[in-house]
Amino acid sequence: MSWTDAAAFYAFGKPVLWTDLVGNVCALGTVWLAIRKTIWTWPVQLVGSVLLFVASVSAHITGNALKQALFGVLAIYGWVKWSRGTRGGAELPIRSARVRERVALVSVMIAGTVAVALLFVFLNSRGWKISWAPWPDAYIFVGSAVATWAQGRALVDFWIIWVAVDLVGVPLAFNSGLVVSGLVYGVFFVMVLIGFRGWLRQSRELRAVTA
Greater pLDDT, 109 or 60: 109
SS3 157: coil
The percent helix, strand, coil of the chain (3-state, each to 5) is: 75, 5, 20
Q: How would you class 185 by CB atoms within 10 Å of its CB: exposed for 0-12, middle for 13-18, buried for 19 or more?
A: buried
Round to whole Å and give the CA distance between 36 and 40: 10
The length of the chain in residues reads 211
CA-angle at 184, arms to 81 and 177, nearest 5° = 120
SS3 10: strand
Round to whole Å and give the CA distance between 84 and 120: 37
77-126 pLDDT, tens digit each: 999 999 998 888 888 889 999 999 999 999 999 999 999 999 989 988 88
| pLDDT for 168 | 86
Radius of gyration of the chain (CA): 17
Round to whole Å and give the CA distance between 63 and 56: 8
Cβ neighbours, 10 Å, residue 110? 12
For the segment 63-89, the average pLDDT, to the nearest whole number, is: 88
Highest mean pLDDT among 46-50, 57-61, 104-108, 122-126: 104-108
Q: Which residues contact 44 (CB under 8 A, 6 or more apart)?
A: 26, 29, 30, 33
135-186 pLDDT, tens digit each: 988 898 899 899 999 999 999 999 999 989 888 877 777 776 767 667 777 8
Q: Where are the alpha helices (DSSP H) in 59-157?
A: 62-85, 99-125, 134-152
The values of phi and psi at residue 95, to 5°, are -160, 160
> What average pLDDT does the chain have?
85
